[in-house]
Amino acid sequence: MGDLLARPVGWVRRWDLWSQPHRVLVYVLAGELVAAVVLIAIALNHPSATRLDWIRLAFLAGCAIAHIDLTRGVERVRNITAGAGPSLDTKSVWSFAAVIILPPTMAAGMVILTHTWAWLRVWRGRRPLYRWVYSTATVLLGTQVAIAILASGPGPHHAIPTTLAGFGVVAAAAALRWLVNYTLVAGVIMVANPSIRAGQVLHTIDERILEIGAFGLGFVAAGAAVANPLLLIGVVLGLTAMHRGVLLPQLRIAASIDPKTGLHTVTWWHPIAEQALERAVALHTSLGLLMLDLDHFKRVNDTHGHMAGDHVLRAVAEAVQAEVRDHDIACRWGGEEFVVLLPDLANATELRTIAERVRCRIRTLIVAVPTDDGMNTIQNLTISIGAVLYPGTHPVPVDELLRIADVELYKAKNLGRDRVEISPARPAAIDSPAD
């Protein structure tokens, strides 16, 4: 019996939540407790759902799941570049639609469903679970505030408004739902990091406009679910297009692609890395950097010519992209050097696994290149990799992480090349590598 109890108790004790500062622990648990109490209260005090409610819930839930699955890769990348503050939550389209047309218990269920599915499909293993649970709690509280606002408005409850006053009430409900959620999430970030500036947790104007658009689409989804649920397919397609064409402006503004490799340039990559590190510091997540250098690349140029060298660089870049995760961000650092940003790592083992995967892939490359005598092949390529994992003893800037990764890269070269050397981030001075 003791062994049966020891396992779950040990599992609970290993939760990342308990490693947080006391003030964060109290803040998070208090928010989750309030959300649980509110959830129990509405479950006990509201009538059961009708058959029509269940049908509408099924359509909304199915579309929400499709939306999350279709956009999960883009969502990871967009979230990386969001900075330290709360990130835009497009799942609100479906939960807000449920607020308008479904009973409170079902509206709460939609929040739990969308957040659980997003955790399983997008963030499991990349984010501490306690933070995702707290985020769900804040949305639940915001949802109940929105329900209370709608209940106080004119016209029948759980129906699409048909008057200007009714539209105003829906707009007020959306605004307060966002305010409650945003305030609670921003609050825990600032409690966890008292030195963080308020400006770092505020959204840009573009993000606020997109949030308005998300709630607007939620209103449209509610209308579609009432009129003809099949119209919700158009909402899913619109959201997917919005993710790929609108929700990544920071990935397109001044985006610069290296013409030889197809990777991003370092000019574009560096501020993205700074934002990702800022977010890792604020949210206590891990982040890694890989610095890669193709071994003996000068021999390729000298033997086969610079055009052949360009083909090799392109093939290596494509191999790197193929072996890192879909939300990792690679750039050409210069010459035959590359750098990869790896946010949301589980630990140093995952960092090494990815680096070794890249190294092994390069060894298998067979690159067809043009020469004066026709097409030829280049193979037996190798790459040396220096890796660094944040956090170390305390936060360090991106340039320091790059410096440490560069030191590890030179260590790999000095130890015979075609290897991975990894170091934890540390603020202490590191001897410069030998020439």
pLDDT band at 420 (very low <50, low <70, confident <90, very high): very high
C-alpha span between 108 and 129 (Å, rounded): 19
Query: Does the pLDDT value for residue 369 go beyond 80?
Result: yes
Percentage of the residues of the chain whose pLDDT score is greater than 90: 39
Strand ranges (DSSP E) for 295-435? 329-334, 337-345, 367-371, 374-378, 383-390, 420-424
Which of 157-166, 252-261, 318-327 is the least confident region? 252-261
Weakest mean pLDDT among 48-57, 242-251, 272-281, 387-396: 242-251
Task: Give the chain's count of helices (H) and strands (E).
Answer: 15, 8
Does pLDDT of 122 surpass 70? yes
**One-letter amino acid of 160:** I
For Cα atoms 184, 187, 190, give the angle at the middle one, nearest 5 degrees: 160
Report whether pLDDT(428) > 50. Answer: no
Q: What is the pLDDT of residues 41-73, one digit of tens each?
A: 887 877 678 899 999 999 999 999 999 988 887
117 phi/psi in degrees, rounded to 5: -65, -40
Q: What does the pLDDT read at residue 433?
A: 39
Cα 144 to the chain's mean position, in Å? 26
Tracing tokens 């070269």 back to the chain, one arrives at: 413
Per-residue pLDDT of 26-43, as tens digits, reads 888 888 899 989 888 887
**Over the chain, what is the mean pLDDT?**
82
| pLDDT at site 6 | 55
